[in-house]
């Protein structure tokens, strides 16, 4: 019993001792070991451990450690309090179970020095040998029921990097619960912290091990990438200056039965204030925001992936370098990605985008300029991949307000670009792209101060492109209201080129080609034929291979083209507005015809309609053209520098058929109407109502016009007071014109050579033309002359005529007639070779009953007399053969009567009255035939000159030898009618002279207006006869008084004469005798009266005889004195 008690006491004592020992070891040993033994051990590892206080309750298995600190080369770990509670009895269940693990204000500091040594290196084993224990066969499980980290911190620094890295997390709160390997649970986790890298880091999650499942929620607020980038990312090529990341997600990863699933739900990603440098270029992003992300992935024998992103937003993105790019915003909404891969590896994928929006795109480069895009929007993108097949489509894409530089000084802008229903498909190795519709609205090209071009809208419908066949098909292209304006400079350059800053060096090809000699026509035809053949071959080859395209319809509507032509200092505006163009069936097959239609109704009254077909290779054109231009005066501006005139009105209408193959041909009709040309003073000088070309044909350099009708033509010719011809004043004189006139004679031979060269060129196939049946209807010619002493004006009215043919192969014949003045009639007939008029020309011109009273201003000015009455009838016949002119001017003056005399400094000295009296016949008619001859090759030849020479010769004949002129006209022998001879000192008509009286009567009877002039005359023979008569009288008186004989009486009258010869004595005696002039004059007058009396006795009226003053004349035939007979003026 005692023994039992003793044993019991021993057992109890042992148990009590063990309990005491256990208690002491628990309460004292464990704290001691932690405070003393463990630090000693760590000291051997170059580490130090200090603990302010340690408590362990061996009964509750709770351990409390206050302010532990672990240091190596730098502080490594510290905490304010560590509390641990164990469940040791779970070991009996083969479970190591920690009920509570609590760390208050723990601080972990991991540092790497400049040598790359970590401060926890002492605790890292040097051996990589793995434990031989097989965890799979371990029978001990582990459980951690509750773990809390409260207010913890974590710091990491690395001095070994080029840029030292420091990161610190503070305010870490981390809860872990229900980790149990026996239950295949990795527990539930809740984590949040603050950091120098991030304002907040939160994580809640869990891990299930059987089956494996990892799940949780993670959030990150304002994570600063800059410190991480400085140490781990920054290189010479890439440098991140700033970036803040905010992110959150709910995640789940599971693996069960060979199936792995991953999912992200309620995920979001936000990147702010991103700034970086890449290869020296600056990149910045104000914000990238993905507010809602959903991702699901399954991996097994089949794999699938799906991602839905509600929005992707880029805000204020910029890139700066050699070029600068800015993007205000980029928004993508409704992004959906799906992919399925079956066990064979076949892919079935799709991508969808509900909407895309871009705004504020700006790209700037010094060498290019600034490119801008206000915004771009796209909707409903759908893309699918199934095996090798791909299909992609987009509902629409819209670009708004875009601009880009063009050249140096201008920019192109686009208000809106709309692309509807673009699609792409790849199926069975066949790929096609299509667009339902494209609209580009308000396209403009502008300089700083000027709008060069603008297009209201360009539209493309139903475009399909087969990539495999490189074949493009477009249903229609429309260009609406294009507008373009430019100047054509003096040198032919477009101002738009220089305004755009596109003018570069001119190609030298034009210069070199201009120097090449022209090919002959035969060579050109052979060359064209060769080109056409090659073009046909080329078209056939291009149809079989290479890029193919077809455009069914191209239309241009409401085009407005403004061209200002700078021509010799003046600006001439041309407006081609209201222009519509339509082209059909355009393709790469250049041998296929293109249908073309053009319609224009311009504001400048130019209307054009064209319908035709064009084949590019070989070039073949056939078109019907209708043209109406009701504003021809605007083209007259080109003549302003050459003509002092203006075209007041004019209209052109034409209907033509135009063809071009190897040669050009044109056929049709035309009409020019209401032409009115005014001089510099605004007076009308030329006009016609219509010029109708009934038939026009042009082919092979030959133009043929048929049935040409000129209706109501009008021409005004006028001489002003300075005797300037109005038509000559229309042409402005250029500098050096006088010098050209001075050299005209010298250039005559050159002109002939040039003419010969022109003929030679014509033989070689140069341009030629023919005109058939030219009609003139109801024409008027208005002539006036203000240079005369009194103004003159007359008209030719109702001018009608026809010109049969103008042709190089045969003579041209024509007749014209009209009314001159009030009742005069004129008619012109001609026949000539139009291309060589000097070879053969015949002209017949007739005037009848032209009232000469109307030309009184001319007769007074140039003849010194007014015309009281009279009419002109004129027939002109001119014949030119081989440049030799032979012509006649048959003039008839009916009852021409001169009026009063007019004083004029311009009057020619012609004896008009004399001429009229001589030329007028008994019926008061004057008939004159003036022959003219000349050589047209003579540089001094002038038609007016040869006519004037003929007139002067006529008047010379009348003045100098009127009786010879009249005698030949009347058949009289008029050579002796110039004088009537008298015996010396005698006034009686001798028998031989009395016959002349009858001839004078015949002349005066035939010329009733003619007056005879009688010039009394005496001569030396009369003086001698009178002296001898006086000497004989004295001899008789001496003989009577002295009784001397004749010899003695004669000798007494010449006492000084020693000779006794009678002749010598008479000569000596005559010297002393004088005859008075009055005696001679009386003799002369007596002779005139004797002639006058004889004419009067023969029947000539006294008023038709004029006795002039006496004159001394020469002795005729040694013994007669002659009285001069003439025609009185």
What pLDDT does 611 receive? 95
Q: Which of 118-127, 622-631, 832-841, 923-932 has the lowest mean pLDDT?
A: 118-127
Asked whether the predicted pLDDT for residue 528 surpasses 70, the reply is: no
Q: Measured between alpha carbons, how far is 789 from 794 in angstroms, rounded to an integer?
A: 16
DSSP bridge pairs for 319: 283, 325
In the 8-state DSSP scheme, what is residue 632? G
Q: Could you report how far apart the first and last alpha carbons of the chain are, in Å?
A: 213
What is the secondary structure of 393-455 as a DSSP string? EEEEEEEEEEEEEETTTEEEEEEEEEEEEEEEEEETTEEEEEEEEEEEEEEEEEESS-EEEEE
Asked whether the predicted pLDDT for residue 698 surpasses 80, the reply is: yes
Asked whether the predicted pLDDT for residue 1063 surpasses 60, the reply is: yes
What is the secondary structure of 1041-1092 as a DSSP string? HH---HHHHHHHT-TT-----HHHHHHHHHTT----HHHHHHHHHHHHHHHH
944 vs 510, more confident? 944
3-class SS string, 924-936? CEEEEEEEEEEEC
**What integer is the mean pLDDT of 757-772?**
62
Asked whether the predicted pLDDT for residue 510 surpasses 50, the reply is: no
What pLDDT does 1087 receive? 92
What pLDDT does 727 receive? 73
Asked whether the predicted pLDDT for residue 913 surpasses 80, the reply is: no
Which residues, 6 or more positions from 677, have their beta carbon under 8 angstroms from its beta carbon? 645, 646, 647, 648, 684, 685, 686, 687
**What integer is the mean pLDDT of 2-22?**
68
127 vs 817, more confident? 817
Q: Measured between alpha carbons, how far is 311 from 329 in angstroms, rounded to an integer?
A: 13
Percent of the chain with pLDDT over 70: 79
168 vs 374, more confident? 374
3-state SS class at 314: strand
535 vs 486, more confident? 486
What pLDDT does 236 receive? 60
What pLDDT does 806 receive? 78
Q: Measured between alpha carbons, how far is 258 from 253 in angstroms, rounded to an integer?
A: 13
**What integer is the mean pLDDT of 631-642?**
84
Highest mean pLDDT among 271-285, 358-372, 689-703, 917-931: 689-703
The model carries a pTM of 0.66
**What integer is the mean pLDDT of 557-567?**
88
Query: Regarding the domain delimited by 970-1040+1073-1128, which CATH topology (the fold level of the hierarchy) does it fall under?
Result: 60s Ribosomal Protein L30; Chain: A; (3.30.1330)
At 880, is the pLDDT very low, low, confident or very high (cuts 50, 70, 90)? confident
**What integer is the mean pLDDT of 776-788?**
79
Give the residue from 85, 110, 104 showing the smallest Cα distance to 150: 104
Q: Measured between alpha carbons, how far is 227 from 233 in angstroms, rounded to an integer?
A: 10
What pLDDT does 231 receive? 60
At 953, is the pLDDT very low, low, confident or very high (cuts 50, 70, 90)? low
pLDDT tens column, 647-671: 999 999 999 999 988 888 899 999 9
At 908, is the pLDDT very low, low, confident or very high (cuts 50, 70, 90)? low
The answer to whether 234 and 242 are in contact (CB under 8 A) is: no
Share the mean pLDDT of the chain. 79
Start-end of CATH 3.30.1330.60 domains in the chain: 970-1040+1073-1128
At 511, is the pLDDT very low, low, confident or very high (cuts 50, 70, 90)? very low
Q: Measured between alpha carbons, how far is 939 from 43 in angstroms, rounded to an integer?
A: 137
Q: Measured between alpha carbons, how far is 621 from 613 in angstroms, rounded to an integer?
A: 6
**What integer is the mean pLDDT of 850-874?**
72
At 804, is the pLDDT very low, low, confident or very high (cuts 50, 70, 90)? confident
**What integer is the mean pLDDT of 985-1010?**
84
Asked whether the predicted pLDDT for residue 106 surpasses 80, the reply is: yes
Phi, psi at 473, each rounded to 5°: -125, 130
- Kind of pairing between the strands at 75-78 and 107-112: antiparallel
165 vs 965, more confident? 165
Asked whether the predicted pLDDT for residue 366 surpasses 80, the reply is: no
The answer to whether 989 and 1094 are in contact (CB under 8 A) is: yes
The answer to whether 858 and 901 are in contact (CB under 8 A) is: no
Q: Which of 527-531, 802-806, 823-827 has the lowest mean pLDDT?
A: 527-531
Asked whether the predicted pLDDT for residue 472 surpasses 50, the reply is: yes
196 vs 105, more confident? 105
**What integer is the mean pLDDT of 215-227?**
79
- Kind of pairing between the strands at 75-78 and 684-699: unpaired
The answer to whether 875 and 848 are in contact (CB under 8 A) is: no
Kindly report the CA angle at 360 between 354 and 365, in degrees rounded to 5? 125
Q: Measured between alpha carbons, how far is 892 from 925 in angstroms, rounded to an integer?
A: 7
Highest mean pLDDT among 137-141, 151-155, 228-232, 958-962: 151-155
What pLDDT does 613 receive? 93
**What integer is the mean pLDDT of 318-347?**
85
What pLDDT does 543 receive? 47
Diameter of the chain by CA atoms?
Answer: 267
**What integer is the mean pLDDT of 411-434?**
87
733 vs 487, more confident? 487
**What integer is the mean pLDDT of 686-694?**
92
What pLDDT does 128 receive? 44
What pLDDT does 135 receive? 44
The helix/strand count (H/E) of the chain reads as 19, 50
Element (H, E) at 23: helix 2-24
Buried residues in 928-962 as b, exposed as e (16+ CB within 10 A)? eebebebeeeeeeeeeeebbeebeeebbeebbebb
Q: Measured between alpha carbons, how far is 827 from 878 in angstroms, rounded to an integer?
A: 14
What pLDDT does 440 receive? 92
pLDDT tens column, 118-176: 776 766 654 444 444 444 445 677 777 788 888 888 787 877 776 677 777 777 887 77
Asked whether the predicted pLDDT for residue 65 surpasses 70, the reply is: yes
Q: Where are any strands of DSSP class E within 852-908?
A: 865-881, 884-901
Q: Which of 318-327, 333-342, 953-962 has the lowest mean pLDDT?
A: 953-962
What pLDDT does 673 receive? 93
**What integer is the mean pLDDT of 854-864?**
66
What pLDDT does 129 receive? 42
At 413, is the pLDDT very low, low, confident or very high (cuts 50, 70, 90)? confident
């Amino acid at each position: 019993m005692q023994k039992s008690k003793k044993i019991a006491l021993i057992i109890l004592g042992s148990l009590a001792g063990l309990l005491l020992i256990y208690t002491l070891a628990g309460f004292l040993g464990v704290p001691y070991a932690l405070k003393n033994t463990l630090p000693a051990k760590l000291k051997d590892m170059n580490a130090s451990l200090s603990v302010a206080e340690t408590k362990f309750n061996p009964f509750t298995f709770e351990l409390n450690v206050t302010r532990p600190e672990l240091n190596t080369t730098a502080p490594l770990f510290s905490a304010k309090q560590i509390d641990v509670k164990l469940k040791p009895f779970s070991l009996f269940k083969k479970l190591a179970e920690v009920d509570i693990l609590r760390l208050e204000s723990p601080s972990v500091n991991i540092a790497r020095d400049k040598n790359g040594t970590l401060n926890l290196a002492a605790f890292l084993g040097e051996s990589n040998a793995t434990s031989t224990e097989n965890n799979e066969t371990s029978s001990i499980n582990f459980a951690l029921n509750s773990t809390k980290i409260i207010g913890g911190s974590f710091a990491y620094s690395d001095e070994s990097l080029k840029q030292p890295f420091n990161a610190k997390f503070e305010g870490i709160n981390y809860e872990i619960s229900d980790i149990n390997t026996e239950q295949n649970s990795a527990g539930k986790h809740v984590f949040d912290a603050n950091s120098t890298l991030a304002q907040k880091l939160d994580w809640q999650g869990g891990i299930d091990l059987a089956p494996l499942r990892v799940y949780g929620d993670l959030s990150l607020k304002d994570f600063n990438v800059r410190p991480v980038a400085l140490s781990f990312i920054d290189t010479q090529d890439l440098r991140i200056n700033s970036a803040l990341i905010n992110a959150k997600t709910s995640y789940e990863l599971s693996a069960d039965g060979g199936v792995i699933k991953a999912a992200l739900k309620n995920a979001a990603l936000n990147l702010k204030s991103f700034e970086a440098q890449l290869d020296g270029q600056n990149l910045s992003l104000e914000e990238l925001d993905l507010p809602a992300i959903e991702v699901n992935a399954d991996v097994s024998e089949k794999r699938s992936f799906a991602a839905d992103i509600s929005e992707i937003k880029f805000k204020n993105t910029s890139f700066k370098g050699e070029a600068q790019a800015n993007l205000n915003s980029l928004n993508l909404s409704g992004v959906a990605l799906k992919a399925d891969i079956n066990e064979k590896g076949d892919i079935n994928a799709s991508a969808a985008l509900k909407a895309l929006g871009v705004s504020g795109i700006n790209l700037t480069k010094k060498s290019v300029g600034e490119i801008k895009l206000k915004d771009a929007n796209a909707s409903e993108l759908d893309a699918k991949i199934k095996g090798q097949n791909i299909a992609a489509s987009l509902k629409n894409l819209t670009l708004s307000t875009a601009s880009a530089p063009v050249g140096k000084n201008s920019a192109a802008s686009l208000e809106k670009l709309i692309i509807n229903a673009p699609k792409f498909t790849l199926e069975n190795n066949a790929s096609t792209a299509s667009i339902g519709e494209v609209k580009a609205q308000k396209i403009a090209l502008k300089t700083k101060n000027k709008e060069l071009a603008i297009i209201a809208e360009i539209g493309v419908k139903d475009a399909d492109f087969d990539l495999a066949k490189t074949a493009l098909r477009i249903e229609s292209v429309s260009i609406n209201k294009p507008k373009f304006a430019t100047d054509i400079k003096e040198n032919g350059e477009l101002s738009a080129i220089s305004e755009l800053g596109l003018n570069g060096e001119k190609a030298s090809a034009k210069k070199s080609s201009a120097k090449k000699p022209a090919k002959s026509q035969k060579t050109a035809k052979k060359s064209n034929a060769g080109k056409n053949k090659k073009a046909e071959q080329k078209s056939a080859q291009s149809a079989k291979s290479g890029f193919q395209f077809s455009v069914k319809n191209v239309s241009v509507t409401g085009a407005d083209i403004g061209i200002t032509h700078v021509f010799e200092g003046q600006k001439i505006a041309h407006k081609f507005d209201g222009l519509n163009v339509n082209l059909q069936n355009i393709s790469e097959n250049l041998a296929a015809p293109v249908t073309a239609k053009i319609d224009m109704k311009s504001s400048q009254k130019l209307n054009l309609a064209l319908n035709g077909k064009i084949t590019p290779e070989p070039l073949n054109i056939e078109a019907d053209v209708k043209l109406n231009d009701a504003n021809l005066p605007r083209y007259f501006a080109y003549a302003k520098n050459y003509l002092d005139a203006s075209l007041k009105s004019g209209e052109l209408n034409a209907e033509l058929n135009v063809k071009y193959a190897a040669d050009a041909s044109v056929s049709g009709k035309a009409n020019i109407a209401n032409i009115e040309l005014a001089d510099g003073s605004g007076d009308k000088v030329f006009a016609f109502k219509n010029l109708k070309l009934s038939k026009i044909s042009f082919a092979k350099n030959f133009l043929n016009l048929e049935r040409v009708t000129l209706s109501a033509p009008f021409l005004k010719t006028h001489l002003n007071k300075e005797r300037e011809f109005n038509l000559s004043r229309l042409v402005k004189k250029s500098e050096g014109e006088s010098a050209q006139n001075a050299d005209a004679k010298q250039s005559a031979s050159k002109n002939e050579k040039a003419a010969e060269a022109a003929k030679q060129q014509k033989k070689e196939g140069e341009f030629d033309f023919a005109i058939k049946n030219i009609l003139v209807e109801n024409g008027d010619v208005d002539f006036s002359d203000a240079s005369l002493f009194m103004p003159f004006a007359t008209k030719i009215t109702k001018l009608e005529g026809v010109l049969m043919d103008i042709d190089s192969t045969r003579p041209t014949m024509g007749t014209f007639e009209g009314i001159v003045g009030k009742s005069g009639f004129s008619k012109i007939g001609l026949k000539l070779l139009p291309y060589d008029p000097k070879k053969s020309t015949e002209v017949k011109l007739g005037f009848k009953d032209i009232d000469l009273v109307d030309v009184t201003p001319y007769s007074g000015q140039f003849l010194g007399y007014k015309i009281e009455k009279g009419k002109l009838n004129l027939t002109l016949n001119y014949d030119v053969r081989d440049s030799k002119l032979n012509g006649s001017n048959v003039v008839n003056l009916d009852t021409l009567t001169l009026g009063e005399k007019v004083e004029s400094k311009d009057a020619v000295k012609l004896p008009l009255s004399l001429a009229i009296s001589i030329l007028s016949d008994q019926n008061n008619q004057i008939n004159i035939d003036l022959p003219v001859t000349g050589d047209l090759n003579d540089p001094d030849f002038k038609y007016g000159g040869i006519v004037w020479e003929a007139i002067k010769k006529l008047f010379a004949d009348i003045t100098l030898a009127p009786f010879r002129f009249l005698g030949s006209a009347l058949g009289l022998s008029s050579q002796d009618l110039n004088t009537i001879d008298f015996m010396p000192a005698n006034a009686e008509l001798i028998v031989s002279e009395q016959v002349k009286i009858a001839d004078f009567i015949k002349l005066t009877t035939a010329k009733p207006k003619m007056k005879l002039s009688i010039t009394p005359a005496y001569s030396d023979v009369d003086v001698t006869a009178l002296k001898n008569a006086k000497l004989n009288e004295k001899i008789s008186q001496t003989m009577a008084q002295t009784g001397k004989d004749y010899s003695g009486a004669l000798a007494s009258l010449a006492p000084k004469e020693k000779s006794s010869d009678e002749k010598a004595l008479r000569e000596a005696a005559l010297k002393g005798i004088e005859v008075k002039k009055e005696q001679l004059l009386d003799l002369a007058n007596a002779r005139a009266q004797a002639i006058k009396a004889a004419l009067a006795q023969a029947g000539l009226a006294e008023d038709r005889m004029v006795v002039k003053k006496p004159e001394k004349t020469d002795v005729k035939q040694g013994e007669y004195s002659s009285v001069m007979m003439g025609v009185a003026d």
